[in-house]
Amino acid sequence: MPYLFTSESVSEGHPDKIADQISDALLDHFLAFDPESKVACETLVTTGQVVLAGEVKSNTYVDLQQIARETINQIGYTKGEYRFSGDSCGVISLIHEQSPDILQGVERIQKELQGAGDQGMMFGYATRETDNFMPLALDLSHRILRELAALRREAADMPYLRPDAKAQVTLEYSDDHQPLRIDSIVVSTQHDPFHPEDAVMLAKIKEDVIRILIPRVKAALPPRIQALFGSDITYHINPTGKFVIGGPHGDTGLTGRKIIVDTYGGKGAHGGGAFSGKDPSKVDRSAAYAARHAAKNLVAAGVADEVLIQVSYAIGVAEPTSVTINTHGTSRVPLSDGQISEKVKELFDMRPAFIEKRLKLRNPIYLETAAYGHMGREPRWEDKVYESPYSGRVETRVELFTWEKLDAVDAVKQAFNL
């Protein structure tokens, strides 16, 4: 019997995502001037206020307040009427030095012996459902909000848009787990006040979402996904009514509260650790990226149609305590999931220092991850410039989303005789 599955995404202007972006902007600045920085930075945003807290060990000093303000303005909170603006909000910093008790378990004279920055389990997932090997419902939710943000910045077809927004997509699946159609789409978007009637406002937003936004999203998709957009989709557009009060004025935001949005939308699994604000010695982040990299290359190579990888660590210990594969019965090779796991351990070195080196994680590459998902993104090179009144100017060229590269497919095929 067919069944339904739902995933959601939130925009860059959502309060929790503002907090994630500030935390990762701070991290990038520390890494730009000192690649060996150890950072665990949390952010809280609320009406007119930003609070920064956490631990840092670095040989550089950055202007935390200025970075936070610039990030907020780039997102689009630039008007006093939003009750939260990069130019006027208060910024309080409670950041202090990293605990030496934690540091002693991470730093080693021999880099390859670097221990994990914490215990825990991390997951990576990939599926053939989309061209970027991501779950379809989440991929569509991200696409809807990226396109909505583009419309907001263009300020032409939907000039009333404000930064805060959420989207949700429900798919109907067949018994053999193939997407059949889009059952419903939910979009809640912050907007300017409308006059004179709320009913007119709501009708206008719903019309524009269905007539302008969704066709732009659909046009960028491959034909097999476009075919899922039938005439029977149920749309819930701003279902609670008007949405003028939003952002940190409407809801307090915290770093790390959107971990399912950041990963696989509820498909696969999640170990519970957040990403943003953490340097790559924290395996919550780096091992999750490494597990995604391995899962994606396994699926792309044809080992299975769906792969879930769990990797776990003990704090201060370099070797993982476990690496486990689950193909959910979709394996295309004559091996058990346990046997596949043994080969994966040989193919992908999951020690923290080797993950950092393989995926180039000691670079300022993290702000771009902090909205619209850390996984399923397009790898690319980007030139960046960082300036500090204390440390001067850094110009660097970095590679973003290295864990999304299909650079191990040939090695996987050889290992599995594909």
Binding residues for L-methionine: 55, 98, 251, 282
Rounded (to 5) percent helix, strand, coil in the chain? 35, 25, 40
Which residue ranges are tagged as binding site for ATP? 14, 164-166, 242-243, 251, 257-258, 274, 278
Handedness of CA 327, 329, 332, 336 (dihedral sign): positive
Amino acid at 289: Y
The encoded tokens of residue 175 equal 């018994």
Q: Name which of 126, 230, 125, 128 is nearest 180 in CA terms.
A: 230
Sheet containing 90-97: order of strands: 90-97, 49-57, 38-46, 253-254
Which residue ranges are tagged as binding site for K(+)? 42
Look-up of token digits 């929790």: 16
Which residue ranges are tagged as binding site for Mg(2+)? 16
Asked whether 172 and 224 are in contact (CB, 8 A), the reply is: no
Asked whether 125 and 134 are in contact (CB, 8 A), the reply is: no
CB contact burial 12-35 (16+ within 10 A = b; e otherwise): bbbbbbbbbbbbbbbbbbbbbbbb
Side-chain-side CA neighbours of 124 within 13 Å: the count stands at 30
Which residue ranges are tagged as binding site? 14, 16, 42, 55, 98, 164-166, 242-243, 251, 257-258, 274, 278, 282
Q: What does the alpha-carbon distance between residue 67 and residue 93 come to, in Å, rounded to a whole number?
A: 12
Q: What does the alpha-carbon distance between residue 71 and residue 94 come to, in Å, rounded to a whole number?
A: 18
Q: Name which of 19, 20, 5, 29 is nearest 373 in CA terms.
A: 20
Q: What does the alpha-carbon distance between residue 162 and residue 76 come to, in Å, rounded to a whole number?
A: 8
Long-range CB contacts (< 8 A, 24+ apart) of 394-399?
A: 394/32, 394/33, 396/32, 396/363, 396/364, 398/360, 398/363, 398/364, 398/365, 399/360, 399/363, 399/365
Amino acid at 290: A
Asked whether 288 and 116 are in contact (CB, 8 A), the reply is: no
The encoded tokens of residue 335 equal 């091996």
